[in-house]
Amino acid sequence: MTDHLTEEQQAAELSELMLSEYSRENQRRIFKIVKSESKGGLLERPSEDIFEDVAGFALSVLEKLSIRSLEFPQQHAYAFKMLRKLCLTSYSITVLVEDFEGKPRGSLDHASVAVLCRTIIDTAIMFWYLSEEISAEEWEFRLAVMNLHDTTSRVRLFKGLIPDEAEKQRLRRAKFKKALEDNALFRKRKRQDRDRLLGGQVLYVNGMRSLLRTMNYNEEYYDGVYSYLSSHVHSLPIAYFRDGPEGDPLTYYFPSMFVGYALHHAWTMIARAALREVEVSAIETEVDAEMLAEMRRIAATHVGAADYLDRASS
């Protein structure tokens, strides 16, 4: 039991806390009651606390490599841009959440947190793709696919806004399409794959799901998490249909509960990206040893395991 309280006393305190204002201290107390068997490790805390530490570790990695990154080869330089984006998005989340300190739980902007956490997931996957150890020939192939995807997107962007610019992008797209068709690795692909890549809609040459597997992330679990976070981007019914009437305790507490859920899935991705950068840049001896060990513990844990839903809801 927590603090030698009876189960009835814990339940009463928990109910009171859930109706209280949102604060980091209240979140820690709720976590302590719900997770009464927690041993107090770095990862056995509310998601807000873990997110702050993991994002801080990623930022420390970014800062250590900022000068060196000026000399990174093209592939690594692009990956490093994704790490910077992860840190910037994490900062935006931190500012957003901190602004609600001491305010009613029901006013917490959980939908915006969901949008930013989904951005972190997307960015971490792209970072992983760009940081894979591949041959120069493979990078040339991937870059050709990315260039074609880029110009295809620009044609769509400008055709309804600036027709002349859209035409310029069509010419660039034709050039990149020809470069891809001439690529040696592209020509080794099956006809179906070649047609798919030439459409300009494909970004990851072997599919995004191949990356999830190497990130130790369950594909079906990812589908559920990503779909749920995306529903808040598009304001789909699943994002708000289950809200109760005004004054309903669940409606009041849900935003803070959902923030913990979203942050949990964001920091699992940030940790993987930060750890990968540490290893790629060989700076293990330059970072905090305790945090490095925790990043490795996170990366070694298969996201989608049976206990993940419990942790995400805390």
Give the per-residue pLDDT at 57: 98
Mean pLDDT by runs of 10 across the 314 residues of the chain is 70 83 90 70 84 97 97 97 98 96 90 97 98 97 97 96 96 97 97 95 92 94 95 89 62 86 96 98 97 95 71 47
Give the per-residue pLDDT at 36: 63
Give the per-residue pLDDT at 9: 82
Handedness of CA 141, 142, 143, 144 (dihedral sign): positive
- Length of the chain counted residue by residue: 314
What per-residue string of b and e applies to 173-194 under the rule 16 or more CB within 10 Å gives b?
Answer: beebbeebeebebbeeeeeeee
One-letter amino acid at 1 equals M
C-beta of residue 77 within 8 angstroms of C-beta of residue 261: no
Give the per-residue pLDDT at 313: 47
- For residue 263, give the nearest of 43, 16, 38 by alpha carbon: 43
Give the per-residue pLDDT at 312: 47
**What three-state secondary structure class fits 101?**
coil
